[in-house]
Amino acid sequence: MSLTDYKEDIETCFGASCGFCERGCPVYQILKKKTFTSRGRNRAILGIIEGKVKPSKELAEAYYQCMMCGCCERWCALPDTDIVKELRKYLVEEGFEIEKHKENVENVMKYGNPYGVENLMAWRKDIKFSTPDKTSTLFFAGCTMPLKQPETLRRMAKLLGPEKMTIMDEEVCCGSYVTRTGYEKEYNELTDRFLKYLKDNNIKEIITACPGCLTTIKDKLEKNKSEIKVTHITQKLVELLEKHKLTVKKILGKVTYHDPCHLARSEGIVDEPREILRQISDFREMPNHGYESNCCGAGGGVRAAYPELSLEIGKKRVEEAKATGAEILVSSCPFCEDQFITVGGIKVMDIIDAVWEAVR
């Protein structure tokens, strides 16, 4: 794909000028500048396509301050996040990249994670996974949970049964961060390595707890016409509960749930987390939830490059959670949870840890 492939969509946006993308856009709600809405960005892209606008540092600032959360697509029929992604590829190719993004992508290619940490596999110590010759199910840890939530990841493996799954000796990054910040060459390299592993080891199903990994892996498999199933942990936990392979008690107090953008809007996984939480807690719903959930502010590379903007968005979401009277804010995304912990003001818990406590 290229920018010109979206010309008709962008002209439609230009002609309609409805402004519906302002509704719920987390960045616009903070900055109040129409330049930072999908409509504003699309106008600049049309100028680029027609040769009337040249790439610049100011232009890059507008396009890198997008959460890529898909909230605008709740009100718009156009593929707005895909358009932003394509523009970022263009900016990187033209040399207008964000230094922090460049640094993080270099870390991904060298260490397998954007944080530049070498011990990515330390979390799995003493957990005995199966081997590819004995199972076709891959446990995909991702790059954030092993470093920031290692115990949560260990609990996930134990709940599912590590003997039923295999894991990559040196896990290849899914490339979510890489492709969403515009580094397509590096993303394709990661994809080639990942797909080769799946083929060589006859993998039929991939289970992950990270929504970003989920959507990125599903996208690359669909584009390569693969029939490998990709499953989120909440789907597996519901399955185990329904088959009575897990028995839980209602031990948690007042709880609310934050829908990760990748999970709710991209994949429609909304009911499963609530089905779990209603069995183990006094569940409270936020007004903006499910497909219309407000973004946490940590996605799209914004937290790395624009931390102040990111935290302002996160603070608004935490206030929504507290207004329900909830004592615990539960989510199922390591990025969302790390964001809420940084904001503070409410106890934050991963849904895996919530189930672990209820089972115990």
Query: Are 260 and 352 contained in the same domain?
Result: yes
pLDDT at 121: 86
Query: Are 84 and 137 contained in the same domain?
Result: no
- Give the HSE-up count for residue 144: Cα atoms under 13 Å, Cβ half-sphere: 21
pLDDT in tens, 27-81: 999 999 888 899 988 988 999 999 998 989 888 988 899 999 999 988 888 999 9
pLDDT in tens, 175-204: 999 999 999 999 999 999 999 999 999 999
Mean pLDDT taken over the chain = 94
Question: Which of 97, 125, 155 lies at the terminal end of a domain, its last residue?
Answer: 97
CATH number for the domain spanning 179: value is 3.40.50
Question: Which of 181, 208, 237 lies at the terminal end of a domain, its last residue?
Answer: 237
Sorted by sequence, the CB contacts under 8 Å of residue 131 that are 6+ apart come out as 166
Containing domain of residue 36, as a range?
A: 3-97
Query: Which amino acid is located at 295 in the chain?
Result: C
Mean pLDDT on 95-115: 95
The residue whose two tokens read 């709940």 is 159
Mean pLDDT on 142-160: 96
Query: Are 72 and 190 contained in the same domain?
Result: no
> Could you tell me the pTM of the whole model?
0.94
Cα(189)–Cα(177) distance, integer angstroms: 14
Treating both helix axes as pointing N-terminal to C-terminal, what angle do 184-200 and 99-111 enclose, rounded to 10 degrees? Answer: 20
Query: Are 133 and 81 contained in the same domain?
Result: no
pLDDT at 35: 87
Kindly report the number of other CB atoms within 10 A of residue 68's CB atom: 21
pLDDT in tens, 307-327: 999 999 999 999 999 999 999
Sorted by sequence, the CB contacts under 8 Å of residue 138 that are 6+ apart come out as 165, 166, 167, 168, 198, 201, 203, 205, 206, 207
Treating both helix axes as pointing N-terminal to C-terminal, what angle do 80-93 and 38-49 enclose, rounded to 10 degrees? Answer: 50
- Structurally, the chain folds into a number of domains equal to 3
